[in-house]
Chains A and B, each alone.
Chain A
Amino acid sequence: MSQPGYSEKVMDHFMNPRNVGVIEDPDGYGKVGNPTCGDVMEMFIRVKDERIEDIKFRTFGCGAAIATSSMTTEMALGKTVEEGMKITRDEVARELGGLPPNKMHCSNLAADALHMALEDYRNKAAVRKG
């Protein structure tokens, strides 16, 4: 078995994840991953005046999956919806001080979950505007 080789920052976000939980009746919701592959992430957002006012996540997965979820929520909180859409998986990995090569896909998932939640918000907003 290989050593995960996680950075201190990854370990910090993994051991003390930020923004864990759910938002009831969220403005946007995204769920990505596949239990067969070993990672499933959900993100819930609350948006006010086009700004991400609250964000929560739940993740089934390895240390990297949990850490990238936590880091993504931290990066997204307080940003506008548009800024949130621009958060990339590479940025998430960079903010965490890097990820082991075989764990890079975890950062994809976290960014994807965020983008999906933001898309969901936009779709709902469009419906509301009619």
Chain B
Amino acid sequence: MKRIYMDHAATTPLAPEVLEAMIPYFSKRYGNPSSLHSFGREAREAVDDARTEVAALLNAEPSEIYFTSGGTESDNLAIKGIARKNKKKGRHIITTSIEHPAVLEVCKALTREGFEVTYLPVTREGLVEIGAVEEAVREDTILISVMHANNEIGTIQPLEEIGRLAGEKEIYFHTDGVQTAGKIPVDVNSLGLDAFSLSGHKLYGPKGAGALYKRKGVRIESIQQGGGHERGMRSGTENVPGIVGLGRAARIAEENMAVESERMRSLQDRMRGWVLKNIEESWLNGHPVKRLPSNLNFGFRYIEGESLLLYLDAKGVAASTGSACSSKKLAASHVLSAIGLSPVESHGSLRITLGMANTEEEVDYACRAIFDSVKRLREMSAMRPE
């Protein structure tokens, strides 16, 4: 059976060129970048090249890029590092109710260190309103952390406005850009960002490699002590193959972005149009326009998402759901709750995230598979139109 992967917000396959670039650093170029000899120097050069490539993707300076193990570590470093270093100035942090757990749980942990956190609500479309940010700002606010695009519903936040506000109020501004880096343009300067987290495996790079952009001069402290790698920001011998892979992935993403995002947008339109037209009592979660070109989050009434996901899996289509039944805690997705979906509405959610390898033919196949699976599950459902 043909398998169709449409869960690219979870992870992406490694691009073949990325793998190729990484391989020598697993074998013959095994030097430690901290070593002074030729083995060390060639590893150091590779890390520096990757730093330049990642910086170019964000319109940043190479010296503002710090390599980490991934998105979660970058979020931890940015939020804990900035909060702890600036706590004399204030102990208030603003974030949103729809952040990834890598931000929410870090904020929760910081409340145990005496920080106060405001979680901003979002609109039905998943947007943070600038007015709400303004209202939340206090004298002692030291950090605003708002994700760039949501991993579940794909809504893209108005970072530029928030960045301007943060700049005026001299509050540090961090964004979790795990879902946007390499997919839509990111310019840390025009967005007014002080810190930006990204992850390698979401942009056709390797797992276990990520980066934090930190603007020059932003006061931050390390959360991992040791030999002082990454200019003291992140101790631990560099994951050279991973970093090389991340750099190459960033370069490829930048080269392909214009063409690829246009292609994603057309596949997205194709699927959205077909599904909403042909499946009754279905809708799209998230913002109709301000959304990632690769993200579709559908709602289907009278059925439950885990069942739908597994029926699709049996037809070879890999997707994801925010249904409570699919989560460990049996709680509905916090994002779907935050946009105001009732528990019943969030049960029938299906997330499709498109990627590089997906074609029109695959989209059409997936549409049919969704149609058939929804139909079958509705036939056996104990819930139906009144």
Contacts and interface: CB of A to CB of B under 8 A. Distances in A.
A62 B307 CA distance: 5
A59 B311 CA distance: 15
B310 A59 contact: no
A15 B344 CA distance: 23
Contacts of B306: 4, 62-63
A61 B325 contact: yes
A39 to B, nearest CB: 8
Contacts of A41: 382
Contacts of B382: 31, 33, 40-42, 58-60
Contacts of B381: 58-60
Interface stretch (B262-270, B276-284, B326-334, B356-364): B326-334
B132 interface: no
Given A38-B347, A60-B303, A20 B328 contact: no
B304 interface: yes
B344 A14 contact: no
Contacts of B344: 35-36
A117 B369 CA distance: 34
A20 B379 contact: yes
Contacts of A21: 380
A41 B326 CA distance: 18
Contacts of B326: 1-2, 4, 62
B314 interface: yes
Contact of A61 (B304, B327, B379): B304
Nearest to B311: A15
Contacts, number: 78
B332 to A, nearest CB: 8
A41 B382 CA distance: 6
B307 A36 contact: no
B310 A38 contact: no
B328 A14 contact: no
Contacts of B320: 1
Interface in B303-347: 303-304, 306-307, 310-311, 314, 320-321, 323-330, 342-344, 347
Contacts of B347: 35, 38
Interface residues of B, number: 27
A71 interface: no
B146 to A, nearest CB: 24
B383 interface: yes
Given A36-B344, A38-B343, A62 B304 contact: yes
A59 B343 contact: no
Contacts of A17: 380
A61 B325 CA distance: 8
Which among A4, A11, A17, A60 has the greatest number of chain B C-beta atoms within 10 A?
A60
B323 A62 contact: yes
Interface string A22-42: 000000000101011111111
Nearest to B324: A38
Given A35-B343, A102-B328, A63 B383 contact: no
Which among B310, B380, B382 has the greatest number of chain A C-beta atoms within 10 A?
B382
A38 B325 contact: yes
Nearest to B320: A1
16 contacts: A1-B321, A4-B306, A11-B310, A15-B310, A20-B379, A33-B382, A35-B344, A35-B383, A36-B342, A39-B304, A60-B383, A61-B325, A63-B307, A63-B310, A65-B325, A102-B329
For the complex of A and B, 5 pairs with smallest distance between CB atoms:
A62-B325, A62-B306, A40-B382, A60-B383, A2-B328
Given A65-B325, A66-B307, A102-B330, 15 more contacts: A4-B310, A4-B326, A14-B310, A15-B311, A35-B344, A36-B342, A37-B324, A41-B382, A58-B380, A59-B381, A60-B381, A60-B383, A64-B325, A65-B307, A102-B329
